[in-house]
Amino acid sequence: MGDYTVIGEVSTLIQRTLDAAVKTVSGDALAKLDDLSETVSPSPPKLTVFLYEIAEDPPSRNRPHVRPDPANPQIVRKPPMALLLRYLVTAWGVDPVTQHRMLGVALRTFYDESIFAGARLTGGLAAGADALHFTLTPLTLDQKSLIWYAIQKPYRLSLNYEVRVVNLDATEDLPASPVRSRELVPGLVTP
């Protein structure tokens, strides 16, 4: 069941995955969740993971209602809200080469493992049969500059990833009327 914790669980999953990967660049390198409101120290080298946008997945809006309890077909629930999470992954290090290596490790990590499913998912994410898809999102330089301008920081080379679809389950049950009768209207059949 994708309860209110799923967004935090996705962020933690990204942070843990990148934290394990950046150790190849430097033993003291790390990945951390950060809102970039404070100055980030370049030592030790690090990747910051910043969730900068949450949006609803438009193609998933028209999904049918779900039956939370198969034993009680008279109760239905709205389908889960399908979310897109957009992250900014930024490298911080004492020199540009270290920063570029850190970004390279992040790119390779999410290229090799672009779909997270099954045992990789924990908590509320593990309850469903869904998978998380990680996609490197192309943004223009203007779009990237707007993100940095919004957080009032100078532009830095960063990666933009989109994670879809994160399902946030509805909690309110709706009554469903059972079908009591039906009426067939004959029509004309043409060959």
pLDDT above 90 covers what percent of the chain?
Answer: 43
- Predicted confidence band of residue 75 (pLDDT cuts 50, 70, 90): confident
Residue 167 to residue 84: CA distance in whole angstroms:
9
Distance CA 23, CA 48 (A): 14
Q: What is the CATH number of domain 6-175?
A: 3.30.2000
d(Cα 31, Cα 89) in Å, to the nearest integer? 9
Give the closest residue to 56 by CA, choosing from 97, 126, 7, 118.
7
Say if residue 76 is preceded by a cis peptide, omega within 30 of 0. Answer: no
Q: Indicate if the pLDDT at residue 109 is higher than 80.
A: yes
Global pTM reads 0.83
Q: How far apart are CA 126 and CA 54, in angstroms?
A: 21
Q: Which of 26-30, 97-101, 110-114, 187-191 is the least confident region?
A: 187-191
H helix runs in 53-93, sequence order: none
Task: With a cut of 80, say whether residue 106 has pLDDT above it.
Answer: yes
Q: Rounded distance, CA 173 to CA 41, Å?
A: 48
pLDDT tens track for 34-57: 999 898 998 899 999 999 999 998
Tell me how far apart the alpha carbons of residues 148 and 36 are, in angstroms, rounded to a whole number: 10
Q: Has residue 1 got a pLDDT over 60?
A: no
Quick one: DSSP state of residue 5? T
Mean pLDDT of 99-107: 95
Taking a C-beta distance cutoff of 8 angstroms, is the pair 159, 89 a contact?
yes
Across the range 12-29, mean pLDDT stands at 91
Confidence band of 128 (pLDDT split at 50, 70, 90): low
Omega before residue 58 within 30° of 0, cis: no
Highest mean pLDDT among 4-8, 75-79, 84-88, 139-143: 84-88
